[in-house]
Structure 1
Amino acid sequence: MRLNSRTAIAGSKVVLVPYRKEHVPIYHQWMSSPELLRLTASEPLTLEQEYDMQEKWLVDEDKLTFIILARPELENKHEARYHHTDDHDQHHSASQQPGSAMPLPVLTLTPEEISQLPMIGDVNLFFKGKPSEPEFEVEAEVMIADPAYRRTGRASESLQLILTYALTHPHLLVPPQSLVVRIGMENEPSIRLFQGLGFHVVKTVEVFGEVELRLRLNEGNEGLARNEFEGGGEKDRTVRDGDALQHAVGGPHTTWIKGVELGYP
């Protein structure tokens, strides 16, 4: 998607960057693994086909793709450089919990520093149909290809960053009830990952051996969510803030962070 072609999103554990040519060789190496092909229900591609796919995904308006880079654990967080923005700059605000009054500080990086971070996976949203259509849905996927970085919280943070980006970016404003995940029934870690973010199983498709999960809207707030996120008034044309997310998608037990958006040349 052209929208994120020059955007990096920095969280505390990962940085999301657009999928570019320099990422293709490592990505191709990952997707030569039978295990990853099985878990992602993918077909093997040649390196040339992978380059073609990268170019296509960069411009396809129905795919939002980020490569996941791992941030090192900070030994002394008090020595870190932090980025703060003005309160009115909601779209580029620092990481925050839904509903929090003030943004939390998030360490920022220069493009040169970002280029030194290890590539560990990818996170994607696939848009199916048009927002005006009843069957419109946005399917989320995440892959941590490097086993050393699994079960470190990086998959969860990557999903929170891309989902909050999609829910709040003024050119996307994805309705939360359109989010869907489809996972192989045997992939219990991934199922638990999404359940921890407020998704719940709504369907089991035995013929494909997969389960379908949807975002659980807060009880009693389904109407509020549709009003807030589908344009119920002039206020709804503004960028959604943490309070709207809090009301719509999980209350005090679900906290989605919003990372710092950085220019990425």
Structure 2
Amino acid sequence: MHINATTVIVGDKVVLVPYLPEHVPAYHEWMQNEELQALTASEPLTLEEEYDMQRKWREDPDKLTFIVLARQTGDGLDSSQVLGPHDACVKALPMIGDVNIFLHGKETDEEFYGEAEVMIAEKEYRRRGCAREALQLLLGYATASSVGHFICHKPPPQPDQSSLLPLPPTALLVRISESNVPSIKLFEGLGFQVTKRVEVFAEVEMRWRAGAA
């Protein structure tokens, strides 16, 4: 079983749930948007291809993917609850984006890293702190720690044959278009520093550094 096959993480603003088949139609609709394609460096897929991608993301041991749901007033959820992705109170929440870590290499490799990404697709939920909290929750869960500005609301992930988690925080990396100043500032606030500029792709590479935030 994939490490986040049933994991639900509850924050103050958002809830993270596994990427399930019922999420695919909405995700497919998002990714027909040219702005989101540009921001995520993605190509549009057919609906069938999107279902294939969902299965791959769920099954591959090098991908940790969550759908971001928005908390609602009076939903009654709190971070101490043990919830499943099919619970009615979770399924009632609106889907607003996704947050991921893609693992590259083996833990014993010198160049091993986990590349983090976040997308808030629904415009009405942008600039509300949803992306920041989604990242805090995911990075706290993936590293089994609350270092810096991360949050860990779940028991530490246990390493097994299907996962390289938990990650050392220093293995975290992001790549962002150098023109995407809000995203760069978001990750700086979470303890990431620009460590490389890739001019051919007009992007920056950022890594987590202790004490950087």
TM-score in same-fold range (> 0.5): yes
1:37 and 1:186 map into 2 onto residues whose CA distance is 15
- Output the TM-score relative to the length of structure 2: 0.86
1:146 corresponds to 2:122:
yes
By relative contact order (CA 8 Å, sep 6+), the higher-ranking structure is: 1
How much does 1:170 deviate?
A: 2.8
1:83 and 1:63 map into 2 onto residues whose CA distance is 24
Match of 2:133 among 157, 180, 185: 157
What is aligned with 2:151?
none
| 1:63-102 aligned within 5 A | 63-73=63-73, 82=78, 84=80
Amino acid at match of 2:58: L
SS at the partner of 2:54?
Answer: helix
1:119 and 1:189 map into 2 onto residues whose CA distance is 22
How much does 1:84 deviate?
A: 4.8
**8 Å contact kept, 2:11–2:79:** no
SS at the partner of 1:38?
Answer: helix
Equivalenced residue count is: 196
| 1:141-220 aligned within 5 A | 141-168=117-144, 169-171=157-159, 172-218=165-211
What is aligned with 1:120?
96
1:193/1:81 Cα in 2 relative to 1: closer, same or farther (>3 Å)?
closer
Unmatched segments (≥5 aa) in structure 1: 86-91, 93-107, 219-249, 255-265
1:163-222 deviations in whole A, cap 9, x for unaligned? 01110123212011110000001111111111111111111111001001111213xxxx
1:25/1:81 Cα in 2 relative to 1: closer, same or farther (>3 Å)?
closer
SS at the partner of 1:207?
Answer: helix
What is aligned with 1:222?
none
Displaced runs of 4+ in structure 1, greater than 3 A?
A: 80-85
SS at the partner of 1:180?
Answer: strand
- Output the TM-score relative to the length of structure 1: 0.69
1:136 and 1:83 map into 2 onto residues whose CA distance is 31
How much does 1:42 deviate?
A: 0.6
1:6 and 1:201 map into 2 onto residues whose CA distance is 34
**8 Å contact kept, 2:6–2:85:** no
**8 Å contact kept, 1:13–1:157:** yes
1:113-150 deviations in whole A, cap 9, x for unaligned? 11010000000000000001101010000000000000
What is aligned with 1:4?
4
**8 Å contact kept, 2:11–2:78:** no
SS at the partner of 1:43?
Answer: coil
The CA RMSD over aligned residues, in Å, is: 2.3
1:186/1:82 Cα in 2 relative to 1: closer, same or farther (>3 Å)?
closer
1:48 corresponds to 2:48:
yes
1:195/1:5 Cα in 2 relative to 1: closer, same or farther (>3 Å)?
same
Q: Percent identity?
A: 56
